[in-house]
Chain A
Amino acid sequence: MGRDAGRLSLILLFAPFALWIGLLIVLPQLGIGYVSLREKVGIAEYEIGLGNYADFFGEPIYRNTLLRTAWMSILVTILALILGFPVAYYIAKIAKERSRAALFLMCLIPLWVSDLVRAYGWIVLLRETGLVSSALVSLGLIAEPVEMLYNDVTVIIGLVYTVILFMIVPLVSTLQGMDDALLEAGYNLGGSRLTVFRRIIVPYAMPGIVAGCIITFMLTAGSYLTPILLGGKNSSWFTEQIYSQFITRYNWEAGATFGVLLLVFTSLVVWFGLKLTGQSLATTVAKE
């Protein structure tokens, strides 16, 4: 192949990539960055400055919503890891060859069902006239139907449900690569079950753990439907703030500021997680 033809085909292959990343990712992100720095001083009159950010940090409601979203997302990520790890280990290491594929597929079923349907299912189960409440009444465990929606515990149950598969899938694929001989060696050298888990299994699964945590955290912090539908109007979720600034109040400057803050915040958490565990974005998230 001639040098020129090679160059030409490289440019042709590069063009869609450049258009996609440039027009749909980089420029729009710069766009909200710019809008967030724009302060409205009059009708169609703007000044560049940090006023929108000052407004955000001056208003406790906004600040607290971000903090609340952050800490609930971290909690959901930790819960998903603790609850998901045994299941992933079971699928990867304990289940027999034949049931393994079936279990893995079963794990993926909810993944294919829309967030909306899943949240709706929880509503049908948990509301005052819902299945769980009626069942408890007919069993005589409670006297009156109880409303189980619209509280933080329900929101967390729903969020863990929505994201746990994204934790399990990378864990299973990492654990499947682990040689059983490693475990046997650990036991033969006199390691207790806990030691083997701590010194062999966890370090081996680390790329999967990091990948799962990153995806889970991002999905939770960016989720909209589950907190709104299960938490009700007072769920104070940050994405809802962004939506209401943008669409309901038509205050794009404030909305863009919130968006930038959410992005910066989630990127910081991801970056920190990668640094802490010595992984990189390309080796974890891209390896699904």
Chain B
Amino acid sequence: MQSPRHLLWIYRAYVLIFFLYLVAPLLAAGAFAFNDSLFPSLPWQGFTWDWFVSPSEPKLGLLHDDRLLRGMKNSLYIGLIVASLSVLMGTCNAFLFERRSFRFKPLLYVLMVVPLVIPGVILGISILVFASMVANFADRSLGLFLTWLRPGIPLVVLGQVSFLTTITSLVIAARLQKFDISLEEAALNLGASRVRVLATVTMPYLFPALFSAFVVAFLVSFENFNTTLMLVGSDAPLTITMYDRMVKVGSTPVLNAVSVVLMLGSGLLALISVLAQRPRKA
């Protein structure tokens, strides 16, 4: 419009360079999963699937690497529980803040948002400390051994739920806010019960938001590192296992292979969630 032609081209070039910067490390991490070499570096030794499928050392492939597979299984398990819990709580919060009025609502709303601005490491240590206090108290005064309050999968789940519930609440509340309340009133006037209205009118309307909140929560849980690091026990999820490998063994192409799987998996899930949220054309 107002910009002269060459300025617009410089601008475009900048945006292009920016996107190259965005994809460069991802391409680098991905490409070397297919290099037939023991190190993820040049020179290129030819294409191979070994880092995914090879059953023996020194090129032990991902599919035969028990520790990485166990990590993946733990992450999957944690992710599903965390996503279900946080969507459930997020739905309750959305109805609470969109439909109800009560005392101190603005203050409590700020409290609901606050977990987003607490660094993950702090959430992790605070839950670790609090859980240990409770466990020690139960041990000393009641003689109960609450092992689930010691570092391990239950604490990892609690730690991740603590901030993901904020995200799911915001996603679901945003959709609930756009809901036309007269639809519910119409159904009530036609004689439907409250539960029936909820099940047949409101919930189907909310479904896309519930679904994408679930996907987002699952992905963030799967990829979380900071909070998890503080709460992890002997059953480490994938990110912790990968980090361990990176620090102890150094970079090996099997980590590139894991990266490829993660990128494809999360890309696919993200795409599904975007498609689910897109308004259907009539």
Taking Cβ atoms with an 8 Å cutoff, the residues of A that contact B are 1, 10, 13-14, 16-17, 20-21, 23-29, 31-32, 35, 83, 86-87, 90, 94, 103, 105-110, 112-118, 120-125, 127, 129-131, 134, 161, 187, 193, 214-215, 218, 221-225, 229, 239, 242-243, 246-247, 252, 255-256, 259, 262-263, 266-267, 270, 281-282, 285-286, 288
Is B223 positioned at the interface, with any CB of A under 8 Å from its CB?
yes
- A218 CB to closest chain B CB (Å) equals 5
With contact pairs A28-B126, A120-B251, A281-B117 given, residues A114 and B22 touching in the complex (Cβ less than 8 Å): no
Number of contacting residues on B, CB 8 A?
A: 83
Identity of the chain B residue whose Cβ is nearest the Cβ of A267 in the assembled complex: B117
Q: Binding site of A, secondary structure by majority: helix, strand, loop or mixed?
A: helix
Is B14 positioned at the interface, with any CB of A under 8 Å from its CB?
yes
- A29 CB to closest chain B CB (Å) equals 5
Q: How far is the CA of A242 from the CA of B22 in the complex (A)?
A: 30
Q: Is the CB of A16 within 8 A of B93?
A: yes
Q: Is the CB of A24 within 8 A of B26?
A: no
- A245 CB to closest chain B CB (Å) equals 9
- A32 CB to closest chain B CB (Å) equals 5
Q: How far is the CA of A108 from the CA of B216 in the complex (A)?
A: 12
Task: Convert B234-256 into 0s and 1s, putting 1 for each residue whose CB lies closer than 8 angstroms to a CB of A.
Answer: 00000100110010000100011
Q: Is the CB of B32 within 8 A of A124?
A: yes
The interface residues of chain B lying within 8 Å CB-to-CB of A23 are 130
Task: Convert B5-46 into 0s and 1s, putting 1 for each residue whose CB lies closer than 8 angstroms to a CB of A.
Answer: 000100110110011011111111100100000011111000
Q: Is the CB of B119 within 8 A of A31?
A: no
The interface residues of chain B lying within 8 Å CB-to-CB of A134 are 41-43
Is B113 positioned at the interface, with any CB of A under 8 Å from its CB?
yes
The interface residues of chain B lying within 8 Å CB-to-CB of A16 are 88-89, 92-93
- B149 CB to closest chain A CB (Å) equals 12
Is B183 positioned at the interface, with any CB of A under 8 Å from its CB?
no
Q: How far is the CA of A28 from the CA of B194 in the complex (A)?
A: 37
A105, A120, A187: the one within 8 Å of B29 (CB): A120
Q: How far is the CA of A115 from the CA of B106 in the complex (A)?
A: 34
The interface residues of chain B lying within 8 Å CB-to-CB of A193 are 2
With contact pairs A105-B274, A218-B119, A256-B129 given, residues A90 and B15 touching in the complex (Cβ less than 8 Å): yes
Q: Is the CB of A86 within 8 A of B11?
A: yes
A14, A106, A225: the one within 8 Å of B96 (CB): A14
The interface residues of chain A lying within 8 Å CB-to-CB of B212 are none
The interface residues of chain A lying within 8 Å CB-to-CB of B219 are 112
The interface residues of chain B lying within 8 Å CB-to-CB of A24 are 127, 158, 161-162
